[in-house]
Amino acid sequence: MTLGGIPWQAYFQRVLSSSSATYAQVLSFLAAFGCLVMALPAVLIGAIGASTAWNDTDYGFPDPMANKEADMILPIVLQYLCPVYISFFGLGAVSAAVMSSADSSILSASSMFARNIYQLSFRQNASDREIVWVMRITVFLFGASATAMALLASSVYGLWYLSSDLVYIIIFPQLLCVLFIKGTNTYGAIAGYLFGLVLRITGGEPYLYLQPLIYYPGCYPDENNIYIQRFPFKTLAMLTSFFTNIIVSYLAKYLFESGTLPPKLDFLDAVVARYSREHMDKATLVKSDNIVLNELAPVNPRHSLTLSSTFTNKEAFSYVDSSPELSNTEDN
């Protein structure tokens, strides 16, 4: 959960919106200590729920642990151990926080889909109006999916744990490769994503009542006859995704740059610079015998420069204006 909690979209949105890199670093470290401080109330509420004699309350017997409602200990404590007004405001605050996080997550997911997947991958020339309609449709779809998950799931903590689990296996290796491994590309990222996802799904998931397809050493059935894995197959899936990303990336790079595969097969524009608009916009240097003029991608002009400011020597004009000899010559 620690490593899976790093590549979260909510965190990077705040980091990228910081005014400076120093402020982003300070904010990150303060947030780390803030999370530890904010965990204390949850620990205290859990301790209160564990030490309460529930027979003496309206909740009755058996206790929440025996009823398998330990994950609902916060609303239970607010309802049965607090006055009515405290329960009212407490549950309202929790509901407001949950709704705020839910709508921001849905809006973030829809905007990322519309921008990073729909526009960049399928419709590069899509208008702003079209992107807005795609966002509206995806908001509805993601909202319906989230509602179905909320109605079918038995634990919010289980959903959170599962999300962190998937981020750890699928996104965390990609983040490591992007930041620290030079030469990784889109082909390796896709291969690593698929390998990590397949290994994670075949390992099973007791929370979703998903039986494993691969039985690692030490697995055993629980009370619901769902096999529990003792082997660290999640870390194995993460490492497999990481090394697959590196191996496939360098293999694709070697095959294209050595000429084993023709450049036209680089359909993702990830290796060969002459077919990559992104690389051309960055003024990537290529040899004259390695590219023809009709294959050059158009380079975006620098709009901050104008013709007058580009081809005018202002120092020369200032020198002419200040020279008395040149001024007398012009007068004569």
What pLDDT score does 306 carry?
45
Asked if the structure places residue 142 within a domain, the reply is no
Confidence band of 233 (pLDDT split at 50, 70, 90): very high
Cα 83 from Cα 304, distance rounded (Å): 64
Mean pLDDT of 38-48: 90
Q: What is the pLDDT of residues 239-274, one digit of tens each?
A: 999 999 999 999 999 998 888 888 888 888 788 754
Greater confidence (282 vs 317) lies with 317
Q: Are 9 and 108 in contact (CB under 8 A)?
A: yes
Q: Which residues pair with 220 in a beta bridge?
A: 228
- Say which residue the tokens 């449709």 belong to: 137
- Residue 155 CB coordination number (10 Å): 15
What pLDDT score does 293 carry?
44
- Say which residue the tokens 């404590």 belong to: 77
Cα 208 from Cα 161, distance rounded (Å): 12
Asked if the structure places residue 213 within a domain, the reply is yes
Mean pLDDT of 286-305: 45
Task: Count CA atoms within 13 Å of residue 77 on its CB side.
Answer: 20
Mean pLDDT of 303-319: 47
Asked if the structure places residue 134 within a domain, the reply is no
Greater confidence (77 vs 274) lies with 77
What pLDDT score does 324 carry?
53
Mean pLDDT of 58-66: 83
What pLDDT score does 323 carry?
53
Whether residue 292 has pLDDT greater than 70 = no
Residue 269 one-letter amino acid: D
Domain span at 273: 155-281
Q: What is the pLDDT of residues 113-138, one digit of tens each?
A: 888 888 887 787 888 888 899 999 99
- Say which residue the tokens 């409602």 belong to: 69
Asked if the structure places residue 193 within a domain, the reply is yes
Greater confidence (113 vs 298) lies with 113
Whether residue 238 has pLDDT greater than 90 = yes
| Domain count along the chain | 1
Is the pTM here over 0.75, yes or no?
no
Asked if the structure places residue 180 within a domain, the reply is yes
SS3 call for 219: coil
Task: Count CA atoms within 13 Å of residue 191 on its CB side.
Answer: 18
What pLDDT score does 278 carry?
44
Helix axes of 233-257 and 172-180: crossing angle, nearest 10 degrees:
40
Cα 323 from Cα 56, distance rounded (Å): 101
SS3 call for 83: coil
Greater confidence (198 vs 67) lies with 198
Whether residue 322 has pLDDT greater than 80 = no
Asked if the structure places residue 150 within a domain, the reply is no
Confidence band of 65 (pLDDT split at 50, 70, 90): confident
Whether residue 290 has pLDDT greater than 50 = no
- φ, ψ for residue 221, nearest 5 deg: -80, 145
Asked if the structure places residue 198 within a domain, the reply is yes
What pLDDT score does 331 carry?
52
What pLDDT score does 11 carry?
80
What pLDDT score does 281 carry?
43
Q: What's the mean per-residue pLDDT of the chain? A: 79
